Amino acid sequence: SNAINENKLLLLRNEVIYLFLQIAQGKMEILTQIKSSRLQELPGFKLKDVLTFESMYASAGSLEKTYYHHFLCFTMRQWLHEKCGMYTHPDRTEDGEGFAGLWRKSEDEKKAQFNIITDLIFDSFSSERATVVFQMTDATQQHNFRPGDTAILYRRIDEEPCALHQQIIKGRVDQIRAGEVVFSLNNKQLDGSYFDCEASWLIEHDIFEKNHWVASESLLGVLDPNNGERFKLLMGLRDPERDVSSNTATLMKDENLNDNQRQVIHKALAAKDYFLVQGPPGTGKTSTLLPQLVSGLLAQSDGSILIVAFTNRAVEEIASRLEQRGIDFMRLGGRGSKADQDLRQYCADGRIDQAREYIQKRKVFLATVTTMCNRVEALKQLKGDLDTLIVDEASQLTEPQLLSLVMDRKKFILIGDQNQLPPVVAIHEGFCQVVDAELNAAGVFDLRSALFERLFRQCRNRGWHHSIDMLTTHFRMHEEIASLINPWYGNQLQSGGAHQQGEVIHEPDGITDDSEDRWHEILQTSRVIYLPSKREQVSKYHQQEARRVVSLLRFLRKSYGVKFNADKVGVVTPWRTQIGLIRNLIGNDEQLQQLNIDTVERFQGSENDIIIVSMAVYHPAQVQLLTSAGKYPFVNEDGELEEIDVDRKLLVTLSRARKQVVVLGDEGALVSSEHYCRLLANKCVDKQLSKTLQPE
């Protein structure tokens, strides 16, 4: 009967979850039970996978198994945290909600955490773009959604909505404007008639589970005996090699490169196994270095090149830079990209041979890391020469996220900066520490760390300087701003242009009222300004700061006149809720809504003339929560290796500004951090002048 079959499925589901929980707890003996003799009922293609795993696991060495166990456990913990809130804190006896909060929490609880947008009314549907436009009945409701967020959509049937009682529509939030939300559908088969009804709609956050399964699968490469030499290389059991006979000078044709850039490109092209480039903010690692490397590699070899980055935004920036240099490439996974449109048309017309030829002619392939991991095996069927990998934003990727790509390439180049944002890992650090002699010897102490950071430290500690280098000339920040972050790089950074040394701070075109006069006076005081905020003991938003931010934005627009645009100013705040509050206060002002107002995680890779920072904190514990501590290994003038303490989020925040930084925050909370304490020293605007600002 159906009831019996349902119970069997539930039992099987529970057994599978039990296995995942065992792995997350580090009980790896469960893996020895994966035997083909016990799974003969599986389809042939699945049984083959079991046989492969059984053989590889049985023959793997001690280090390979230890590495596999630790990172598989880490990946399962991340997945369980997203699903049901586990591994939030070692001392926590109960789990959080995670995605399970979708059905476990009431609407009021979700509103209190700003995790829901309610009472949306259908407005219009675009079949061409598969997007739905909704109007918000309450445009002032606070929420923490941003454009690009993965989300689910469902209609309200009962007074207390429950997502389990109806169809859930998956997609992403494309735009959030004043009183309006644009939702992009994953299911392109739906049409407008489904949404055109009297019901109101709700949007909640979704999770993207595929990243965890891609990472888990990539770990299998460690067990593969064919990757034995590659694994030794990654674990520091053999030196990375270089081609000393390589004449790379003829491959660098851009006369505008400085000596430091030439040195880095020369070493990267001469490397045989791998090369790591540390690119501090504004040093041109994406705009200049990466295209130069691609040009040099194409001239050096007939092999194809894979280029990946962590985010779609970074991939789009790389695509723009490659186009500017006239480098032909194919974008994988880009919605609406030229390659996507061309291949869809070939397939729709039945011209499969032309589609195959279209791919085979390309030498450069560009995608996000997740997309490339999903498609590289299929690509290998058409292109057998995928020899070289270039990874931008490599310092934001954990080892499992990159493992399958670096294992299968002859050479890889990682571009990143361990002083900037680390990989996003939500589970508590106590669940990520490694106490194992073999892994510690290879530099694996924290499972959250990026492969880039571990290899860079390994090369520096062992004197493999031919495999690492750092770009030292920055072209973005004024020297006064750069002086705040330069100590975190051992004071090695140098400005590359005269525009970074100018004295004029801000020249407004026209001032009309006393409030704006105050902003003009404040902005003239320094390149780096701190405005103290009054204490508001609420979590994750600050009313006064939001009003001041909007007031300053309006002043800057009037000041710049016709020159005002989204490049002039950006707003950084740690909290999604504060973003929503600021945008609500901006209202229907389309020009200000176009500005970049976001968290620092979304700002990495961006820059503006002026950066406004709204901290929205009132307690030292919040500041501690926002601190992203790191250590930068630096060889001092005496040739000794020392480590510099870094606040990576603060570094990224400050370095987004070309000309000026304005920080708003509660002084009593901020000075609990030694990094903020140094920032605020001598940067505080006269408090009486600050109090004259309107609105207060």
For residue 42, the surrounding DSSP H or E stretch is: none
> For the segment 114-133, what is each residue's pLDDT rounded down to a tens digit?
889 999 999 999 988 889 99
Q: Identify the band that residue 552 occupies on the pLDDT scale cut at 50, 70 and 90.
A: very high
- At residue 327, the pLDDT reads 94
Answer positive or negative: Cα dihedral of 658, 541, 529, 566.
Answer: positive
For residue 170, is it within any domain?
yes
Torsion of CA 186, 187, 193, 198, to 10 degrees: -50
- At residue 236, the pLDDT reads 93
For residue 252, is it within any domain?
no
**How far apart are alpha carbons 685 and 691 in whole angstroms?**
10
> For the segment 428-485, what is each residue's pLDDT rounded down to a tens digit?
999 999 999 999 999 999 999 999 999 999 999 899 999 999 999 999 999 999 999 9
- Transcribe 472-507 into DSSP letters: -EE-SS-HHHHHHHGGGGTT--EE-SGGGG------
- Transcribe 608-673 into DSSP letters: EEEEEEE----SHHHHHHH--EEEEEEE-TTS-EEEEEEEHHHHHHHTTEEEEEEEEE-HHHHTTS
Q: Identify the band that residue 223 occupies on the pLDDT scale cut at 50, 70 and 90.
A: very high
Q: Identify the band that residue 250 occupies on the pLDDT scale cut at 50, 70 and 90.
A: low
SS3 464: coil
Q: Is the pTM of this model over 0.95?
A: no
50 and 175 housed in the same domain: no
For residue 304, is it within any domain?
no
Count other C-beta atoms under 10 Å from residue 288's C-beta: 21
The span from the first CA to the last CA of the chain, in angstroms, equals: 69
pLDDT of 610 > 50? The answer is yes
42 and 190 housed in the same domain: no
Q: Whole domain around residue 31: which residue ranges? A: 1-59
Phi, psi of 470 (to 5 degrees): -135, 135
148 and 36 housed in the same domain: no
For residue 596, is it within any domain?
yes
pLDDT of 190 > 70? The answer is yes
Residues 235-261, mean pLDDT to the nearest whole number: 79
- At residue 512, the pLDDT reads 47
SS3 588: coil
Is 168 within 8 Å of 151 (Cβ atoms)?
Answer: no
What's the domain count of the chain?
3
pLDDT of 633 > 90? The answer is no
Is 649 within 8 Å of 628 (Cβ atoms)?
Answer: yes
**How far apart are alpha carbons 571 and 663 in whole angstroms?**
10
**How far apart are alpha carbons 509 and 399 in whole angstroms?**
51
654 and 522 housed in the same domain: yes
> For the segment 159-179, what is each residue's pLDDT rounded down to a tens digit?
777 777 788 999 999 988 878
658 and 543 housed in the same domain: yes
Contacts 24+ apart (CB under 8 A), 189-193: 190/130, 191/125, 191/127, 192/124, 192/125, 192/127, 192/132
The sheet that has 657-665: what strands, in order across it?
528-532, 657-665, 608-614, 569-572, 596-598
Q: Identify the band that residue 567 occupies on the pLDDT scale cut at 50, 70 and 90.
A: very high
Whichever domain contains 607, its CATH number is 3.40.50.300
4 and 142 housed in the same domain: no
505 and 602 housed in the same domain: yes
- At residue 695, the pLDDT reads 55
Beta partners for residue 34, in sequence order: none
Residue with structure tokens 């009967």? 1
Q: Identify the band that residue 294 occupies on the pLDDT scale cut at 50, 70 and 90.
A: very high
Q: Say which range, 394-398, 420-424, 627-631, has the weakest mean pLDDT.
A: 627-631
pLDDT of 11 > 80? The answer is yes
For residue 462, is it within any domain?
no
pLDDT of 608 > 90? The answer is yes
Q: 464: exposed, middle or buried (C-beta count within 10 Å: 0-12, 13-18, 19+)?
A: middle
**How far apart are alpha carbons 21 and 275 in whole angstroms?**
38
Q: Say which range, 68-72, 374-378, 668-672, has the weakest mean pLDDT.
A: 374-378
Q: Among the three residues 186, 208, 230, which one is the final residue of a domain in this structure?
A: 208
- At residue 8, the pLDDT reads 87
13 and 160 housed in the same domain: no
Give me 50's structure tokens. 């079991």
**How far apart are alpha carbons 261 and 43 in whole angstroms?**
54
For residue 371, is it within any domain?
no
585 and 531 housed in the same domain: yes
For residue 639, is it within any domain?
yes
Residues 317-334, mean pLDDT to the nearest whole number: 90
> For the segment 32-67, what is each residue's pLDDT rounded down to a tens digit?
888 888 777 778 778 888 899 999 999 999 999 999
- At residue 488, the pLDDT reads 93
More confident residue, 140 or 75: 75
Q: What is the largest CA-CA distance in the chain?
A: 83
Residues 326-337, mean pLDDT to the nearest whole number: 83
Whichever domain contains 148, its CATH number is 2.40.30.270
For residue 139, is it within any domain?
yes
- At residue 248, the pLDDT reads 64
Q: Among the three residues 162, 184, 208, which one is the final residue of a domain in this structure?
A: 208
- Whether residue 695 is preceded by a cis peptide bond, meaning omega within 30 degrees of 0, is yes
Q: What is the mean pLDDT of the chain?
A: 88
For residue 120, the surrounding DSSP H or E stretch is: strand 116-126
519 and 621 housed in the same domain: yes
Percent of the chain predicted with pLDDT > 70: 93
SS3 167: coil
For residue 454, the surrounding DSSP H or E stretch is: helix 451-462
Q: 30: exposed, middle or buried (C-beta count within 10 Å: 0-12, 13-18, 19+)?
A: middle
| Rg of the chain in Å (alpha carbons) | 27
Among residues 694, 604, 623, 690, the alpha carbon closest in space to that of 424 is found at: 604
Residue with structure tokens 């020392």? 642
188 and 114 housed in the same domain: yes
Residues 350-373, mean pLDDT to the nearest whole number: 90
490 and 619 housed in the same domain: yes
